[in-house]
Amino acid sequence: MLHEIIQWLRTPGLHHFLIISGILFSVGVFAILTRRNAIMVLMGIELVLNAANINFLAFSRYTSGTLDGQVVAIFVIILAAAEAAIALAIVLNIYQNFSTVNIDEIDRLKD
């Protein structure tokens, strides 16, 4: 019995990647919903996007064997980089105007 469990853990399959992706997605959603700091919310969004990338790569590897998942993952990485640059610029502008990055304390759009 123990030998079968060790063998199951030693050879990663699709279910291993889906479990890791699910955990990563759950942590990301938890960070998005519970954090007040805008930087932490952005980190949660990045975790969700990385979980999606793991799914794309795993399904590409274990179902079709083509490079479709890798191509989509590259586009998601490019999207995440653009999103991070724009979001950090917005956060810096919010900090300059309100002297805080707490989402709850930003209650007006214009002075």
Is the predicted pLDDT of residue 111 greater than 60, yes or no? no
* pLDDT at 35 (0 to 100): 85
From the list 47, 43, 50, 49, the residue with the least C-alpha distance to 91 is: 43
Q: Which residues pair with 102 in a beta bridge?
A: 37
What is the separation of C-alpha 74 from the centre of its chain, rounded to a whole number of angstroms? 14
Tokens of residue 76, six digits: 């998601």
Sign of the four-CA dihedral 78, 80, 81, 85:
positive
> Domains in the chain, please, with CATH?
13-100 (1.10.287.3510)
Residue 62 carries which DSSP code? I
pTM of the model: 0.81
Asked whether the predicted pLDDT for residue 8 surpasses 90, the reply is no
Give residue 97's pLDDT band: very low, low, confident or very high (50, 70, 90). confident
Give residue-wise pLDDT tens across range 42-93. Answer: 999 999 999 999 999 999 988 887 888 899 999 999 999 999 999 999 888 8
CA angle, corner 40, sides to 85 and 48, nearest 5? 75
